[in-house]
Structure 1
Amino acid sequence: MSDHASDFVLQAISFDTLEGWKDDDPSGLFEVMRRCRRQISDVKAYRTGSLGLSSEDLLPLLHAAEDFTPSSPSAARAFFERHCRPFLIRRKDGNPGFVTAFYEPDIEVSERPDKVFRFPFYRRPDDLIDLDDANRPAELDNSYAFGRLHDGHIAAYPDRRAIDQGFLEGRGLEIAWAKSKVDVFFVHVQGAARLRYSDGRIGRITYAAKAGHPFSAVGKLLIDRGEIARADISMQTIRAWLARNPEHVDEVLWHNRSYIFFREAMVADPEAGPIAAAKVPLLAGRSLAVDRMIHTFGFPFFIRSESLTHLDDGRPFRRLMLALDTGSAIVGPARGDIFTGSGDMAGERAGTVRNDADFAILIPRGAAGRFA
Structure 2
Amino acid sequence: MASGAAPCSAAAYRLDAVSFADLPGFGQDRLDEALKNFAKTCGRPLNGGPSVEGFDGAAEAEACRAARRGDGAANPKNFFERHFRPWRIVANASGDAFFTGYYQPEIAGSLTRTTAYPVPVYGLPPDLVVLPPGKRSGALTGLIAARRAPSGALTPFPDRGAIEDGALEHAPRVRKLVYLRDNVDLFLAQVQGSARVRLSDGRVLVLTFAGKNGQPYTALARVLVQKGVATPAEMTMDRLIQWIRANGLERGQPGDELLRLNRSFVFFNAHIETGAQAQPRGGSGAPLTPLRSVAVDKRVWPYGLPFFIDSTLPWRNAEPEPFRRLVMSQDTGAAIVGAARADIYFGLGREAGARAAEIRHHGQFFILLPIRSRVGDGQ
TM-score by length of 2: 0.88
**More off after superposition, 54-63 vs 163-172:** 54-63
Shift of the alpha carbon at 1:3? 8.9
Q: Does 1:30 find its partner at 2:35?
A: yes
Equivalence for 1:237: 239
Quote the residue 1:166 is aligned against.
Answer: 166
Structure 1 vs Structure 2: percent identity of aligned residues? 33
1:346 aligns with 2:352: yes
Does the aligned pair in 1 maintain the 2:244–2:256 contact within 8 Å? no
1:335 pairs, out of 318, 336, 341, with 341
What is residue 295 of structure 1 aligned with on the other side? 301
Aligned twin of 2:47: 46
Q: Is residue 272 of structure 1 aligned with residue 273 of structure 2?
A: no
1:316 match: secondary structure: strand
Which of 2, 10, 13 is the aligned partner of 2:15? 10
Matched residues in 2 for 1:254 and 1:264: separation?
A: 25
Task: Give the Cα–Cα distance (whole angstroms) in 2 for the partners of residues 6 and 297 of structure 1.
Answer: 20
Letter in 2 for 1:298: G
What secondary structure is seen at the aligned counterpart in 2 of 1:281?
Answer: coil
- Structure 1: where are the runs of 5+ without partners? 368-372
Larger mean Cα displacement after TM superposition, 282-291 or 78-87: 78-87
- Write the letter of the residue equivalent to 2:237: M
Q: By how many angstroms is 1:27 displaced? A: 1.6
The corresponding residue for 1:315 is: 321
**Do the aligned residues in 2 keep the contact of 1:91 with 1:334 (CA within 8 Å)?**
yes
Give structure 2 stretches of 5+ with no counterpart.
1-6, 374-379
Deviation at 1:133, TM superposition (A): 3.0
Provide the residue aligned with 2:184 in structure 1.
182
CA distance in 2 between partners of 1:68 and 1:101 (Å): 31
Q: 1:253 aligns with which of 259, 278, 301?
A: 259
TM-score, normalization: structure 1?
Answer: 0.89
How far apart in 2 are the matches of 1:102 and 1:271?
Answer: 18
Q: Which residue of 2 aligns with 1:110?
A: 110
In 2 relative to 1, CA 6–316 (structure 1 residues): closer, same or farther, beyond 3 Å? same
Shift of 1:37: 4.0
In structure 2, relative to structure 1, the CA distance for the partners of 1:4 and 1:217 (3 Å cut) is farther
- Alpha-carbon shift at residue 69 of structure 1 (Å): 6.9
Residue 140 of structure 1, CA deviation: 2.6
Q: Distance in 2 between matches of 1:200 and 1:178?
A: 15
Change (3 A) 1:4 1:250: farther
- Give, as a single letter, the amino acid of the residue that structure 1 aligns with 2:108: E
Task: Give, in whole Å, the separation in 2 of the partners of 1:208 and 1:54.
Answer: 30
**AA aligned opposite 1:160:** R
- How far apart in 2 are the matches of 1:270 and 1:215? 34
Q: What CA deviation, in whole Å up to 9, does each residue of 1:141-175 have, x standing for no partner?
A: 3x522101124321211100000010011245210
Deviation at 1:229, TM superposition (A): 2.3
3-state SS, counterpart of residue 76 of structure 2: helix
Maintained 8 Å contact 2:233/2:360: no
Question: Cα deviations across residues 103-132 of structure 1 (Å, max 9, x unaligned)?
Answer: 111111100001000111100112211210
Quick one: which of 211, 214, 218 aligns to 2:213?
A: 211
Q: What is the aligned residue count?
A: 359
Call closer, same or farther: CA 1:303–1:199 in 2, change over 3 Å.
same
Change in CA separation of 1:115 and 1:315 when aligned onto 2, cut-off 3 Å: same
Deviation larger for 116-125 or 2-11: 2-11
**Runs of 4+ deviating beyond 6 Å:** none
Residue type at the aligned position of 1:106: E
Q: Distance in 2 between matches of 1:139 and 1:110?
A: 37
Q: 1:35, CA displacement in angstroms?
A: 2.7
Residue in structure 2 matched with residue 281 of structure 1 by the alignment: 287
Alpha-carbon distance between aligned partners in 2 of 1:19 and 1:277, rounded to the nearest angstrom: 29
